Structure 1
Amino acid sequence: MQGTDARKVALTLFLSVCGGLIALWLGVPAPLLIGGIVIVGAASFLKFDTRLPGWLVNVAFVIVGLLLGSNVSEDTLSLVGQWPFSMLGVAAGLLVMVGFTTFLMMRVFRLDATTAYLCSVPGHLSMVMSMAISGIGDGKRVVTIQSVRILFLTLLVPLLAMALGLVPEHVANMRAEMDLVTLVVLTIAAALSGLLLARVNAPAPMVIGPMLVSVAGKLAGLYHGVLPSGIAAIGLIIIGAQIGGRMSRVTLEDLKRDLVAGLVMTLIMIGITALIAIGLGLVMDMPLGQIWLGLAPGGLDAIGALGLALGYDTAFIAAHQTWRLIILGIAIPLGPILIQRSQRGNA
């Protein structure tokens, strides 16, 4: 990394830290994540270069994966029997969300069918962006609307959870932290597992791989304790900066044109998720907020970190977010093909 690039990265991380401290002072849930998103997002929109190198983002993903896995409690397995209901809820929610918002984007915001579909997909952003940039749909509008969706979804979910009283009264994590030897061994195994999953094109490999390793080790009794708080903070600061940095792709003209569409889509997705979560809450012995986050159409890294900050079962949330990514990994490439066939049939 050249000197100029290193200074830009350092400035971006400094902004993320400042945002986190301000959010902490204001009492915002998941302050290191939310604060970084807001401050770095604003700087990105003002065209400061807030890009982070891929290796640094992957380091943060490994940290978040370890953070989620090490916070899984041993009694989690006793609740797995209830998961089929919520897994069906994830699939139903995706079907309703994508179908309704695609229709809305076409009818109200006048997007073509393929662009509307790619704008409505709640996940696998790298795949969606790659398809849009390659000429499938209007790439600029997909980038703008998806960036707005991710930014506001990550900001609104914890604030709504707090406003609706869905945050447990005691969320502080007082469990002992793992020792240095355990941390080093677990980190090496986690990184290798992430790289292995990346080779087979698994979704979110650098989060899911470390998470699986740390969960397996915890449930097998191979180690005890959670990730040290200082390392966890570093991961959240980097993730906040990475999410905020996505606004660098958006210009003022793009925002004027597509801000309303992105906000409307975000609110609809949150509403649909909330309704399904309320229904599942009637048959599942779990906190409503936990079910809601498990179904929430956000990134595994951000939603998982929010769930941890709000004191919920990270195994439940991570498993359901991973299931959502698996479904989307199959559905995203098929969507444009089915749309094109439908259009040819109607021609």
Structure 2
Amino acid sequence: MTNQSPTFLSALPQSLQWITLVAGGGLAGYLLHYIGLPAALFLGPMIVAVCMGVAGSSIHVPRLLFRSGQGIVGLMVAQSVTLGVLLAMAAEWHLMLIMTIVTLLLSAGVGLGMIRFGGIPASAAAWGTAPGAASAMIAMAEEDGADSRLVACMQYVRVVCVVMLGAWISHMVVPSESMQLSPDAAEVPLNLIGLGATLLVAFLGALSGRFVPSGALLTPVIVGSALQLLGWLDITLTEPILALAYGLIGSYIGLRFDRATVLRVARLMPTIVTANVALILLTTALAWPISWVFSRDFLSVFLAISPGGLDAMAIIAVETGSDASFVVALQTLRLIGVVFTGKLCAQVLIAIARRMNR
């Protein structure tokens, strides 16, 4: 690895770096929220964290805190899950399967394009374009012998691109005055027992993330929904807790963009960004006919098939009043499919790439 001189930011005490992240992220989130951008309290900290990471910051959000933030988002989604919603999703399994396959094929096509025209190694392109949870894809890529640092950069660049373009498209589709931090958060009286039980489920979900891919998000969705449907849990979330959860997730993702990683792949960055934007635009274009054929609103379909960022898409879905349960269900189905078939799909993509280069 190339030796790098210390930066001004890395020379600062970590306490000051944390203050910069919290204050800067909070201010950025407030400003974005003020102009009506969806997921502003997630985007603001993420943008500040990306800048700090590239500038040489030495701080990192502990993974348990990141997973706890995901657990809170999972319970936020679980709030919207009712028996009627579950029955509707069960009746639309064919729609979910079609959209999952379409997204996987688009991702594979973009991966082949990156290999053929962008000079990206086949193994890294295969895992870097896989539309699953970034952390799971990076871990699986490393086990498969791929360049995990390049895969990490590709995955997290895609997350940033998806979130930024997703927020912008949502802003164009949904009037800003209809956006909210959480469903009826201001109208529900505070239930301390419900709040304590909610935080406990979120923490248990965070612990499950060590054993289950994306378990920190999916476990609270499943457990929280089940307990709520049985009448055993009154999911209670306050705006400060949601804002903290958004900030933790955004900061964790942003700080992953360290100097070494960005400098190492700087030559490939235009290809990575272009490929990710192309993939997002393709899914956006497909969302229109799919939403028309299956009588779904465009924004819910777009968020459901967007390639990456399950937690971020859930946040945007809830804030814009989209069908969050549908979005999470479809994103989860794709995640499960990618986790179980990722190695096989990567091997097929690598084999096709080798034939193309003969």
Letter of the aligned partner of 2:147 in structure 1?
A: D
Give distance in 1, aligned partners of 2:86 and 2:262.
Answer: 48
Letter of the aligned partner of 2:332 in structure 1?
A: T
Residue identity over aligned pairs, in percent, reads 23
Task: Give the TM-score taking structure 1 as reference length.
Answer: 0.86
Unaligned runs of 5+ in 1: none
Match of 2:300 in 1: 290
Verify: 1:323 aligned to 2:333, yes or no: yes
Alignment of 1:1-347 (within 5 A): 8-72=17-81, 75-77=84-86, 79-133=88-142, 136-163=145-172, 165-166=173-174, 170-172=178-180, 173-174=183-184, 175-177=187-189, 179-193=191-205, 195=207, 197-198=208-209, 201-224=211-234, 226-248=236-258, 251=261, 253-254=263-264, 256-338=266-348
> Does the Cα contact within 8 Å between 1:86 and 1:291 map onto a contact in 2?
no
> Does the Cα contact within 8 Å between 1:57 and 1:239 map onto a contact in 2?
yes
* Deviation at residue 259 of structure 1 after TM alignment: 2.1
- The 1:117/1:208 distance shift into structure 2, 3 A limit, reads same
Task: Give the TM-score taking structure 2 as reference length.
Answer: 0.84
Letter of the aligned partner of 1:149 in structure 2?
A: R
Give distance in 2, aligned partners of 1:344 and 1:241.
Answer: 38
> Does the Cα contact within 8 Å between 2:17 and 2:59 map onto a contact in 1?
yes
Q: Could you report, residue by residue, the CA deviation over 1:145-192 in whole angstroms, capped at 9, with x for unpaired residues?
A: 2232121211111102222x2568633432525511012123323433
Give distance in 1, aligned partners of 2:36 and 2:125.
Answer: 37
Q: Could you report, residue by residue, the CA deviation over 1:47-69 in whole angstroms, capped at 9, with x for unpaired residues?
A: 12241112211221221111111
- The 1:198/1:48 distance shift into structure 2, 3 A limit, reads closer
- The 1:193/1:39 distance shift into structure 2, 3 A limit, reads closer
Give distance in 2, aligned partners of 1:233 and 1:344.
Answer: 47
Give distance in 1, aligned partners of 2:277 and 2:258.
Answer: 23
Please tell me the root mean square deviation across aligned C-alpha atoms, in Å: 2.8
> Does the Cα contact within 8 Å between 1:93 and 1:272 map onto a contact in 2?
no
Give distance in 1, aligned partners of 2:220 and 2:235.
Answer: 16
* Deviation at residue 223 of structure 1 after TM alignment: 4.3
Q: Could you report, residue by residue, the CA deviation over 1:256-287 in whole angstroms, capped at 9, with x for unpaired residues?
A: 31222222222222123223322321233331
> Does the Cα contact within 8 Å between 1:89 and 1:295 map onto a contact in 2?
no
* Deviation at residue 111 of structure 1 after TM alignment: 2.2
Letter of the aligned partner of 2:223 in structure 1?
A: V
- The 1:340/1:239 distance shift into structure 2, 3 A limit, reads closer
Q: Could you report, residue by residue, the CA deviation over 1:237-268 in whole angstroms, capped at 9, with x for unpaired residues?
A: 11111121121265553453122222222222
Give distance in 1, aligned partners of 2:295 and 2:351.
Answer: 44
Unaligned runs of 5+ in 2: 1-12
Letter of the aligned partner of 1:162 in structure 2?
A: H
Letter of the aligned partner of 2:307 in structure 1?
A: P
- The 1:21/1:189 distance shift into structure 2, 3 A limit, reads closer
Give distance in 2, aligned partners of 1:265 and 1:343.
Answer: 16
> Does the Cα contact within 8 Å between 1:150 and 1:298 map onto a contact in 2?
yes
Give distance in 2, aligned partners of 1:333 and 1:74.
Answer: 35
SS at the partner of 1:297? coil
* Deviation at residue 334 of structure 1 after TM alignment: 2.2
Give distance in 1, aligned partners of 2:38 and 2:199.
Answer: 27
> Does the Cα contact within 8 Å between 2:14 and 2:59 map onto a contact in 1?
no
